[in-house]
Amino acid sequence: MKSAWLLGVVLAACLSANARSQALDYGKIEIATDQIAPNLYMLSGSAGLDPSHEDAAGGRIGVLAGPEGILMVDAQYAELADKVLAAIRRISAAPIRFLVNTHIHRDHTGGNAKFAKMGATIFAREELREGMRDPARPAGDPAAIPVVSYGMGEPVKFHMNGEIVDLVPVRAAHTGGDTMIRFENANAIMIGDYYRNYGYPYIDINNGGSLRGMLEALDATMKVARADTRLVPGHGTIIKRADLIPYRDMIFAIQGKVQQLIAQGRTLQDVLAAHVTSPYDSTVPGGLLPAGAGTSADRFITEVYQELKGGK
């Protein structure tokens, strides 16, 4: 009975997030461009218009541009694809050759089909490709499905426009098919959504995410990054390696508190009522804003409880 109720909470959160994204007024969203290296740019949507991501509508996009063509990282909501293309064309008229997805969520993969039909080859984790092909998911445009996939192991490397781009797979973290994208010469890493400094961490268990994997992904990022490397999350502000430490420590501390409450026989309702995130609420922007069936903090605690209760 408890497990059924818990599953209902998680499903409600996912359905509510999807409903909010469907209700967006995409006509009001503009795409801003930030240059972080001579040929590397980051695109992001307007702030304050996306209830799921108040800091910036949809997920951040990376654009590596040069005479050898364009490599994109992620593709925003499908409804913003034309605006994304217009922003890219303000950077470069070169062909868009490659598109890499950091994970499966539609604010990162929604525009896949648009760019695939323009000739881009889509790369992603095997788990992401299989997730998009899952018959249980709503039918989408087949062009959106990645055509080159890879698993755990050595990074996939691109050599183009004077840059070395590493697609570094990480264990199931935010989702079951996460990738960090490292631009070696620009000294920047796009880390998708397994780190976010707007709202509490989001472990999408329905798409294979895990608490353990999220902690492993943070450790892996700290090993790959230098002290001065710019870490670019899919949502929130650009950070440095040192900023990952308090984030990881917060997750460990909350994990420990939830584990203690489980050991005392507390239910999920009891754990939520204990407000174990309270020491961090004042320092986590958006942490107490709605995120599905409760707040971002409630969603995170529910995900942690479910994994720990399952003994994973």
The pTM assigned to this predicted structure is 0.90
pLDDT for the residue numbered 3: 42
Q: How many CA atoms lie within 13 A of 220 on its CB side?
A: 24
CB 181 within 8 Å of CB 189: yes
pLDDT for the residue numbered 312: 58
pLDDT for the residue numbered 205: 94
Cα-based angle 56, 196, 65 (whole degrees, multiple of 5): 60
CATH 3.20.20.330 fits 26-251, yes or no: no
| Cα 48 to chain centroid, rounded | 19
For residue 62, the 8-state DSSP code is E
CB 194 within 8 Å of CB 218: yes
- Identify the CA nearest to 71 among candidates 169, 195, 180, 163: 163
Q: What is the pLDDT along the chain (312 residues), one digit of tens a residue?
A: 334 434 444 444 444 445 444 579 999 999 999 999 999 999 999 999 988 788 899 999 999 999 999 999 999 999 999 999 999 999 999 999 999 999 999 999 999 999 999 999 999 999 999 999 998 888 789 999 999 999 999 999 999 999 999 999 999 999 999 999 999 999 999 999 999 999 999 999 999 999 999 999 999 999 999 999 999 999 999 999 999 999 999 999 999 999 999 999 999 999 999 999 999 999 999 999 888 778 999 999 999 999 999 865
Instruction: Please report, as a single letter, which amino acid is at residue 56.
Output: A
63 membership: H or E segment, kind and range: strand 61-64
Ordered by start, the domain boundaries in the chain are 26-251
Helix (H), strand (E) counts: the chain: 9, 14
Dist. CA 251–CA 200, nearest whole Å: 9
Residue 183, token pair as written in the block: 């631009």
